[in-house]
Copies of this chain bind each other. A is one copy, B any other.
């Protein structure tokens, strides 16, 4: 529940109103531009949003990356320049969106959840990424929480190696690559969770379950359901992209299908990890049951042996005037024989019951 439903403040607003919904922020929004064709490459940081206006008409592929969506004015201005539907803009600044794709007449609009596994805190950070694909431009909006994950793609764009598919292709291939990078990060997250599950499993197999074992399992389950909640609509999104691809994508569909296979693999792995959690929990519960049973047995064995002995000792501690056994020379000795017999008998009984 770390990520709340963020709709509250927007309830009652007319649809299409730009209201930023998310953590409060005062940082300045960073806008970077990459403009390229096969032959040409330019990269710069944009200070004034108005610089973007001229880009809308250029034939080169323009990739504008906006880090931070809390400044709704910037989003609004970009929306005006690139003639974006108001509902699109509303979704960009509402960081509690469900992943989805919308097909507008001139654009494809994709909202995704980018997950990153924080190695220190062992938590999953979520960040909403919105992508808008137009004729020869691509807008990407990030939440400015975790670092930038598209640096690898920028590296590849800078290299003008002969036959680079990326520089030769249009904005649609870049669009595909960004989504692919995000999906790849899901694997890293699952790997992080998987390693911790393996550690927990090793714990329980070697009978060294920590006291907060169930809390840890609970925590992992929560993280996995977080991954699932993001990955399920992600799969739908990619599936819809494939169905509609002919209209928008110039390249053939093998890349999108590959992407789709990866989203399914993410879901498969998530599901199987959730199963592992449940099975570990069952294992733990049966261990608790077993241990309680063992503790009970020890208690019962001790009680069953010593209660009769103490009784016998109590009997001969009585102060009756007439107790013939007390007078006998062998009384004390015989009593020990009796007590030892009782104890041995109890031990033999428990041996037979396989309790010892």
Contact = CB atoms under 8 A, between A and B. Distances in A.
Interface stretch (A43-51, A54-62, A67-75, A279-287): A279-287
Nearest to A164: B14
A104 to B, nearest CB: 8
Interface string A270-298: 00100110011111111111111101111
A205 to B, nearest CB: 6
Given A205-B215, A229-B268, A326-B319, A190 B14 contact: no
A225 B12 contact: no
Interface string A165-192: 1100000000001001100110110110
Contact of A87 (B258, B279, B293, B303): B258
Given A214-B286, A268-B98, A331 B326 contact: no
Given A279-B222, A296-B292, A302-B307, A319 B321 contact: no
Contacts of A221: 279
Interface in A326-354: 326-329, 331-332, 335
A207 to B, nearest CB: 10
A304 B313 contact: no
Contacts of A39: none
- Please classify the interface of chain A as helix (H, G, I), strand (E, B), loop, or mixed, using the class held by over half of its residues: helix
A269 interface: yes
Interface stretch (A1-9, A22-30, A125-133): A1-9
Contacts of A313: 311, 314-315, 317-318
25 contacts: A5-B187, A5-B194, A5-B269, A7-B187, A7-B188, A8-B188, A14-B156, A15-B177, A15-B258, A218-B280, A218-B283, A292-B293, A295-B297, A298-B300, A299-B303, A303-B307, A307-B310, A313-B318, A314-B317, A316-B318, A317-B318, A319-B326, A320-B325, A320-B326, A320-B335
Given A284-B286, A307-B310, 7 more contacts: A7-B191, A87-B258, A98-B261, A214-B287, A311-B313, A313-B315, A320-B331
